[in-house]
Amino acid sequence: MNTHDLLTMGEVTRRSGYAASAVRYYETQGLIQAQRSAGGQRTFERSVLRRLAFIRAAANVGLSLDEIKAELDCLPGDRTPTKADWARMSKHWRRRLEEQIHALERLRDNLDSCIGCGCLSLQRCGISNPGDAAAAQSTGAAYLPKVLRRDPPRRRP
Amino acid sequence: MNTHDLLTMGEVTRRSGYAASAVRYYETQGLIQAQRSAGGQRTFERSVLRRLAFIRAAANVGLSLDEIKAELDCLPGDRTPTKADWARMSKHWRRRLEEQIHALERLRDNLDSCIGCGCLSLQRCGISNPGDAAAAQSTGAAYLPKVLRRDPPRRRP
DNA sequence: CCTTGATATCAAGTTCACTTTAGGTTGAAT
DNA sequence: ATTCAACCTAAAGTGAACTTGATATCAAGG
């Protein structure tokens, strides 16, 4: 416990749940900022905790650090998100979550129909949809939305 | 087009959508097998296409290669999955997909309530749930199921 | 035979999000 | 003054899933 409102690294790690190495990493990546003491040790404003919470939340929603940085950079003057910012950004997140949910639901439903067909048919299966040249026109791909697709079949120039 | 039913690398890459490097990688990892021609070039049985389709499907459901290998190894005699195998395994996948869907739905709903609270409260927010020492008992974590949790807050020994 | 394009191997590189290691410094308490 | 936990930096390591690069061989048409 220190007397005024600057936090030490130890306090930040304890209260944020992040490892010191992660906190330092985020600083190098410009996601958070730190002041330095005379001896060169980091001191953090209390707001860094909120920022770290934001980072964790965004990461849990599936954003990459680059994306998170972009969101944080959108905050004018590098301030901590206000309620309005939060609402705006959460709209963004919600859309993303909805997409993921729908993608998974489609995948699940397709899985059900695949059980019936003894599937993995190279021609028709929407889950495997191997991008067989013979099936290039297949509608199967529609079942696997981009958000879930791991690899792009047929990247022939 | 070759005359009998062994496939060349080129045919496999064209028909599976996988890059040759990926196919070779899967072979080193024991996910697929290949015979060799006199000159040392790979030849594949046609069933490798089905296996690759299976691999892609499983990967799209979110399984790691290790998990996929485990599933494939479960097939007695290293054969291509039959309808029964497929049904058994898809049950596995379905559970996984259901989990992911529910996790995302909870996250989405929590996001909605967070908009109302101007959130990211260190104490209560289920989305950020930073593992603040003061909030160690928080129920917030319940909102973020393991499948979605990126990092384990407070791993203090 | 020669050329060309497809394949082969093996090691090393890539990306992401950090962690680990090694070795040195700080700062608060005794 | 001494001690020792907490802190610092820079560089290298991790793991997943491949890709890239360098270099060499194969296969088939002309």
Q: For residue A65, say whether its CB is under 7 Å from any atom of strand C.
A: yes
Quote the mean pLDDT of chain A: 69
Q: How far is A25 from chain B (nearest CA, A)?
A: 15
Q: How far is the CA of B117 from the C1' of C14 (A)?
A: 42
| Cβ atoms of residues B138 and B151 within 8 Å | no
| Cβ atoms of residues B120 and A53 within 8 Å | yes
- pLDDT, tens only, A95-120: 776 776 676 666 666 656 655 554 44
Give the residue from chain B lying closest to A128, CA to CA.
B57
Point out the nucleotide closest to A36 (alpha carbon to C1′): D8
Least confident of A5-14, A37-46, B15-24, B87-96: B87-96
- pLDDT, tens only, A15-49: 988 999 999 999 999 999 999 999 999 999 988 88
Q: For residue B22, say whether its CB is under 7 Å from any atom of strand C.
A: no
Closest C-alpha among B45, B40, B52 to residue B13: B52
Closest C-alpha among B150, A30, A18 to residue A9: A18
pTM above 0.85, yes or no: no
Give the residue from chain A lying closest to B95, CA to CA.
A108
- Integer angstrom CA distances of residue B98 from A67, A109, B1, B105: 27, 11, 42, 10
A interface mutation test: which of B114, B127, B147 has the most A CBs within 10 A? B127
Q: Please state the φ and ψ torsions of residue A41, each to the nearest 5 degrees.
A: -85, 150
Q: Edge to edge, what strands does the sheet with A35-36 contain?
A: A6-7, A42-45, A35-36
Hey, are the CB atoms on B90 and A118 less than 8 Å from each other?
no
Q: How far is the CA of A75 from the C1' of C8 (A)?
A: 53
**Minimal Cβ distance to A101: which of B93, B108, B128:** B108
- pLDDT, tens only, B10-48: 999 999 889 999 999 999 999 999 999 999 999 999 888
